[in-house]
Structure 1
Amino acid sequence: MIEFDDAGVTVGDVTLLAPVSVTAQRGEALIVRGRNGTGKSTLLRVLAGVRKPSRGTVRIGGAGVNDRDRGFRRRVAVMIGLPPMAPDLTVLDHVLLVAATWMDDSAQAANLARDVLTELGLDALGERFPHELSSGQTQLFGLALVLARPFEVLILDEPEQRLDTEHVESVIRVLRARRDNGATLVVATHSPLLADGLADRTLRLDASA
């Protein structure tokens, strides 16, 4: 499903991502480890199609990446930083909007939105506004916005941020369910708990990860 073939990123004399070759199959979770500055987020941005590699190739499902293509965007869901949030929409409004954008059946979209909030323990917070959430709740809310849509590939940058151990374990369960349903996951993380609980394979961008 995912192929990096000697793909790297340089800007002038600065290497943002040393050349990488790695694959991930459908229904696998690839965990990306490494110190800050070793290229984890850059690798995810290349995979998401928002940064072009300076060398090598990257393919998803046998095709090149292109974030301007609707078919690519339908196949690939991305969370690199928190998604945009509207201050005058509730948590449930946001998640419903995302689900309805990608699904033709309004009842199915509503069910998906509510199911995702329940999975992440946010169902009681549906009528709150984003500014009323704690930092950990905001992190889970951002993840809900990414999960409330169809995808074949899920790209996440440090989804464990701002979360305590109990909530990291909850996120692991939610992501395992997507992987077990056939999605390919690429997750950059500093969390040994998340890495050990989810990884089918691990890419280490430095020897001390």
Structure 2
Amino acid sequence: MIDLDEVSVSVGNVTLLAPLSATVDSGHVLVIRGRNGTGKSTLLRTMAGVRTPTSGTVRIDDDIVTERDRRFRRRVAAMIGLPPIAPDLTVEDHMLLVASTWLGDPRAATRFSRGVLEELGLTPLAARFPHELSSGQTQLLGLGLVLSRPFDVLIIDEPEQRLDPEHVDVVIGALRARRDSGATLVIATHSSRLAEELADHTLWLSEAA
């Protein structure tokens, strides 16, 4: 499903991501770990097509990764930092907007988005606006937005950020459900619990020389 071949990223003389190779089979979970500054987020951005590697290639099913490709955007969803959030839309409005964009059918979008709200424990917050959410609730909203659309590959950066242990468990359950339904996941995390629960393979990054 995903093939990384000697991928590296540099800016001038600064190495943001040292060369690496890896593969992720369809329906598996690759967890990326390492200290801050080792290139985890940079690697995710290259896999999501929002950053071009300085050397090497990233392929998904033999296709070169590019965000400009409509088929690629349909297959690959990513949460690298919080997605854009509109101050005048409620939590439910946000989720329904994303679901409607991708699913087309209003009834299907409503069912789908409400299912994600329930899954993440956001139903009691459905009528709130973003400024009325805590940082942890905002993190769950961001996750809900990326889960409110279809995908074959999910790329996600530190989904455990700002969450208490109970809500980390909720996130683990949601990600496990996507894996069990056949999606391929790539997750960068500092959470040992999340890694232990989800990883089929773990890629440790080290600081560039």
TM-score between both structures, scaled by the size of structure 2: 0.97
Corresponding residue of 2:42 = 42
For residue 139 of structure 1, give the secondary structure of its aligned residue in structure 2. helix
Structure 2 Cα separation of the partners of residues 134 and 115 of structure 1: 21
2: distance between equivalents of 1:163 and 1:64?
A: 35
The offset of 1:64, in angstroms, is 0.6
Q: CA RMSD in A?
A: 0.9
> 1:1-209, aligned counterparts within 5 Å?
1-206=1-206
Question: Could you tell me which amino acid in structure 1 is paired with residue 111 of structure 2?
Answer: N
* CA deviation vs aligned residue, 1:43-95 (integer Å, no higher than 9, x gap): 00000111111111100121011111111111000101101111111000000
CA distance in 1, matches of 2:107, 2:82: 27
Deviations 1:79-135 (A, max 9, x none): 011011111110000000000000122111111100001000001111000110011
The alignment-based identity, stated in percent, is 67
Instruction: Give the aligned residue type for 1:73.
Output: R
Cα distance in 2 for partners of 1:174, 1:128 equals: 22
Distance in 1 (alpha carbons) for counterparts of 2:131 and 2:52? 34
Which whole-Å CA distance do the structure 2 matches of 1:103 and 1:65 have between them? 23
Gap regions ≥5 residues in structure 2:
none
- Please identify runs of 4+ aligned residues in structure 1 that moved more than 4 A: none
Kindly tell me the number of residue pairs found equivalent between the two proteins. Answer: 207
Any idea what SS the aligned residue of 1:121 has? coil
User: AA paired with 1:99?
Assistant: A
**1:5 CA displacement:** 0.6
Normalised by the length of structure 1, the TM-score is 0.97
The code of the aligned residue for 2:95 comes to: V
Tell me the distance in 1 between the aligned counterparts of 2:36 and 2:195: 16
Letter in 1 for 2:203: L
Which amino acid letter does the alignment assign opposite residue 179 of structure 2? R
CA distance in 2, matches of 1:61, 1:94: 31
Tell me, which stretches of 5 or more residues in structure 1 are unaligned?
Answer: none
Counterpart secondary structure, 1:150: coil
Counterpart of 2:118, as a letter, is T
Q: Deviations over 1:7-58 (max 9, x none)?
A: 1111111110001100111110100000001000000000011111111110
> 3-state DSSP class of the match of 2:203?
strand
